Structure 1
Amino acid sequence: MSESEIECANPLFLKWVNEWYQDACRRNAKTQFTLKKALKSLQRYPLRIENAQEAMQLEGIGQGIADRLAKKLASWQKENGIVVPQQQEEQTEGTGNNVANPKRRTPRMYVPRYRTGAFALLIGLYKAHCLYGQDYYVPRSELIPLCEQYTDTPFHVAGSSTGRGGNSVQHTAWSGIKTLESKSLVERQSGVKFCITEEGLRIAEKVVELLRTRNELPDEDNRVFTEYESRNDQESDAISNEFSDRLELASEGSLSGLSESSKFDRPLMRPLLNRAPSSSARASSNGFSRQSSLADIADIELADLILYPKADYDIILIVDSREVHSPADRALIQKELEDHGVHTEIRPLTVGDYLWIARTKATSANRHLPDIVLDYVVERKRMDDLCASIKDGRYREQHSRIHGTGFTNVFYVVEGTNPEAVSRLGENAVNTALSRIQVHHGFHLKRPPTYEATLRLLRQTTGVLQATLGDVYAIPNQFVGQKEFAQTKKSIRSRFPNSSLAMSFEAYDVVSNKSGTLCVGEIYLRMLMTMRGVSADKALTIARRHQTLEQLLKALKAQSGRKELEEIVVDGTCRKIGPALAKRIAEFWTLDAFD
C-alpha cells in the first residue's frame, strides 16, 4: 500500500479504485476518466466513509463504481473473517430458520421513458455537461430551455389529475427531476442547481446515440454532442499514466503574464550559466518552466540558489486585502502589529490570508533583488467559515492549493467556537476535520478565541522569525512551474535540509493562481462579464448563441449583428439583451482602438 493510501481516510477504497484506474489506463478504456475523478475525490475527502453507497456523494463515484466497491468490500471482509452486525444478524436468522437466502437479481439499468420529463431533463443535463464542463451545476432557469424540445409535457403549464381523496395533483415535466435524483443520475446543489452524475452520463450517451440513429436529434444539439465526443477521443489518445509518469503530466497548462525582464530570472549563478538550458527552460520565454527537470535539480548546488543574507533583508507581514473589510479593520491591524514594530502591507493573496516576505534593505548591495516569499503562511477561518467550507467543498480545494505552493510551515487558525454552526454540520465531522488538518495535512492548528488574539499570534510569530531566521536561499524562477512545484521544492530541500528556502512573489502568484487551470470557455465567459451590465445569466445566454469569441466578433461585424444581439432573450426570463447593452457590447468588441 502506498503512502498516499495510508494517509487517506479511506485507504481500502482508494487502493481498489487506484487498481481499476491503472488497469483502465493500460487498456485505454474510457472508464479511466471516471475512475481518475473518483480517485482524486477519495484522496481529498477528509472524512471516513462507512459503506460503498455513502461513497456516491463524491464526484466521480456513481452507482456502478459503488456496486464494485461494495462487492470488493464484502470479499475483503470475508477473507479477513470480518462480520458486520447486519451480516451477523442475517446469518443468525438464516441458521435458525434453516432457509437459504434467495439469490439477489441484478437490477436492470434504468432508462427514462421516451419523451417524458425525466427523458428530456437527462438530455438537457448532458448538453450542459458538454457545453460547460463536468463540474458545472446548471440552474433550473438555464436547464429548462435545453430540455423543452425533447418532451411532450410542458415545464411551466401544469396539467391536472385527480389523486387520492379527490385532490387535484399538478404535474409538469419538471417532476422528472425527482425521478433522476432517486436513480442517482443527477446531483443537486443549493436547492436549484443540478449536475449529471457519471451514471447519468453513461445513460445519456446511449439515449443520444439512439436519437441520432433515428434522426431525431436537432442539428445544433448534434453538433454540440459530436464536438464533445471528439474532444473526449482526443483526450483518450493523449492521456498518460498519472502515477507512473507524473513529471510528464506536469507539463500541461501554460503560464502567462510574467515579466521577461525580471532580474530574478537571470541570477549570477556559476554552474547553471555554464550549462546549456534544458528543454523545459527553453519552452518558457518568461523565466518560468512548465516543469522542472530532475536531472537539473540533482545537479543543483547551494551556490546556484540566490542568497539573501540575514543582515540584508527586512521581514514584512503581508495581509490579504480581503481581510481588511473597513477602516476599523485597518486601524486594528496597525495598532496590534505596527505599534509593536511589525511592518505590514496589504495585498491580494491567491493562497493564504497572511504570509511573510523578505525585502532587501535600501542600503544593501543586493537591493536590486525582488521580494521573496518565505516558507510560512497562515490560513485563517472563523469556526462558521470552516463548517461552511467543509460542506461546500472549499475545504479540500484550499488545502490542495496550499500543498501545491510547497509551503512547509502552514498555520491553520480556527477562530472562535460557534456551537450553532458546529451542531448543524455535526460535531464528529468538525472534530475529524480538525484532526486531519494536523495529522493528514501536517498543518499547525491554532485556536485563538478572537480576532485580536489572532493578531497577537501573528505579532509573536513575526518576532520569532526576525530573531531566528538566518540566511535565506531563493529558488530561481527557471525551476518554478505551475505544476509539481511542491515536489520540486521538496527535492531541493532534501539536498539542503538546513537551509531556508523561498521563492519570488511573482513565482508565488504563478504556482497558486486558480485561473491557471481555467478552460477557454470559462475565460470567454469572464471576458464577457467584465463589461458593465453583463451578468452571469446574460453572459451564458450570449455564449450559447455564439460559442466562441471568434463567432461573436463575426456576428457583430455583420450588418444585422447588433440587431440580432438586441433580440436575444436571456435564458429563464422574458427580458432581451436590449439595444443599450447590445450597442455597448458591439462598440467594445469592434472598435479598432480606445481613446
Structure 2
Amino acid sequence: MPAAEPVRLGRKRALPSCPNPLFLKWLTELRDEAKEKGLKIQYTYQKAIGSLNKYPLPLQNAKEAKILQNFGDGICKILDQKLQRYLKENGPDAPIHSLPEGAPRPGRQDNNSLAPSRKKNAAGDQGKDKGGGGGGGRKKKRDYIPQKRSGGYAVLLTLYRQSQIPGSKGYMFKMELQAEAQRLCDKSFTVPDLGSKYTAWSSVSTLIQKNFVMKTHNPARYSLTEEGLALAQRLECVEQGTKDGPEGDREEARSEGEGDAEEAHGGPGLVDLTASDDDDEEKEEDRLHPTERPTCEASPRRDVDGMGLSENPQNSHATSRKFNAACLLPGTYEIILCVDFIETTGGSSHRKQELVKELQRNGVTFDVRKLNVGDFLWVAREKVAPVPGQLRAPTGRELVLDYIIERKRMDDLCGSIIDGRFREQKFRLKRCGLRRPCYLVEECGSAASHLSLPETTLQQAIVNTQVVDGFFVKRVQDVRESAAYLTVMTRYLTKLYQNCTLICRSRELEGDGGSDEEEGGTASCSLISFAEFNYGAIKNKCQTVREVFARQLMQFSGLSGDKAAAILEHYSTPHSLLTAYKKCASEAEKEKLLSSIRYGKLKRNLGPALSRTVYQLYCTQGALS
C-alpha cells in the first residue's frame, strides 16, 4: 500500500491572474490619473477594475466588456481607442491577453498604487518624498469652477448681478431665479433632457453643499455666501473678458471635469463616462459640452420696464434677449382655457362629457389638467415652433391670466356648505394669487327645492359670496349655458390681451398685486406662471405655523377668513396669542382681548362673543363645557 502523501498547509494554489491584463493596466492608469487630480471619476474606474478582476474569461475587444457591471459607453470607448493604438504600434497580431515584455504587471494587491502617474514627476518628487512624506508629489486639488453656461454658472452669475443692483433685497425666490438664470444656461431649469432626470436646477444642491449658495426661509430664498460672492466675481470678470476677446480667458471658466478630461486624453474631445453608469448629481450637471453662442450682457440687471427698450442701440440685441426671457410679447402667445380634470371625469360622466362636447362644438381651445384650486382658468401659452430632429416640441412658458372660476351646482353647493368645504374654498380662492375669482352657479331649475338645506339658505349663501366676500357670481341654468359663458369669456380675454405684453412676476414678491393693467389700457401687465400658481395652491402642502393657526381659527362658528386675517395681523402664532393672554390682569380682560380688533372693509369690531369663544378654546384647562 503506497504511503499517504503529506498534508499541504496553506493555500493550495495561487489565485488566477486577470485574463485581461491590458484592459486592467489601462483602467489602473486612468484611475490613478483621475485620483491624482482629485476627480470623482476615479471611483467609477475603481468599480470597473473590480468588475474586470472578477470576470474569468478573456475579452476580444472593449465592446464585450459592456456586459460587465460599471462598464458604460464612455469607458468602453476609451478602452477601444487604447486597443486600436496598441495594435497599430505592435501589429495586428499582437497578443492582447498578455502584457508586452518588460511592462509591469498590474497585480491585484497594487491596484491602488499611483505608479503610472508618479513616473512623470519621478525626478521632481524624489526630493519631496525624502523631506515631507508620501503625499508631497501629488498635485493640489483645483477649486470648483462651474462650466460656462451650466446650471451652477447661471445661478451664481444671476445672484451676483441681482446683488449689485442698488436697493436690491439681497436674495431671490426660486421662480424668479430660474427665469433670470435661464438666459445664461444652455439647459432647461424646469424640463429634463430626454433620458435624464436632472435639470439645470439640480446643480443648486451642489452649490449649497460647497457653501457657495445659502438657502433660507419658506418659501425658499437663495443668496450668495462669501465664497460664492468671490467665485461669482471671478466668473463675471471672465464674462466681461469674453466680450473683448472670445479666446481671452476661456480657460479660467472651464469646468473641472472638462479640463481634466482634455489633459488625460490629450485632445479637446470630451467623452461622457456617465452615459450608462451611476454617478452623482454634480457630475451629471457639470459635464456638459461647450457650445458657441453669443454671450449675454454682463452688466448688472435692471428691472424690466413697460416697454423694455434699450437706450443704447449697440446693446439692443442683448436687451431684447433679456426682455424676451422675462415676458411674452404680443403675437407670441395664445389664450388657452384650462379645465380641471375633475370636471370631465367621475360623478355623472354624461353631464360632464356634455360640457366638453359643448366647448368643442363652440370651437374653444381648451386643455384638461389638474388644477389645485378652481375649476376653470385661462393661461397665455407661448407659441413654440417644433425643433427638427426632436420627438416633442419644446415646452412653452405659461402665464396665468387673472381670472379663475369655481363652478357650483345647487346640490354641490348644498353639500359643500354642510361639510365646510364652501368656506374653505372661498378662502383658498382669495389666496391663490389671481385677482378676478368668480363663482359660476348652475341653478338647475327647481332642483334646489329638494335638497337637505332650504332654498332660501342656498340663495343667502350665494348673495353673501357676492356682497360680503366680494366674489363675482354668474348664475346660469344648466351645463349648456355654462359652456356658453366659458366660450364668451375665452373670446373676450383673447381680445383683451391681444395687444398686451405679459411680464412674469412672482406671487412671493410683495406689492405686485391689486393693479388693474387691463382696465387702465396700459400695454403690459404682470402675471404669475402656471407652475408657481398650481404649486402655491396645493391643499395639503407643508404649511407654516401662521397658516395652520389661520385654519384653526376658521373652525370657529362665525369666524370668517377676514376675521382670521385680522387676528393674524396682531397675533401671528398661537404662542404670541397665549403670551398676550398671560399679560392680561384679569379674566374679563382676557375674554375681551380680541373684541376691539377691526376686520373687513367696514372695519367692524370682532365683538366680545367671538373673543370669549377664542379665549375659552385656548385657555380653558380640561374639556370645554
TM bracket (short chain) = 0.3 to 0.5
User: In proportion to residue count, which structure has more helix?
Assistant: 1
Q: Does 1 or 2 have the higher relative contact order (CA < 8 Å, sep 6+)? A: 1
TM-score (ref. length: structure 2): 0.34
Q: TM-score, normalised by structure 1?
A: 0.36
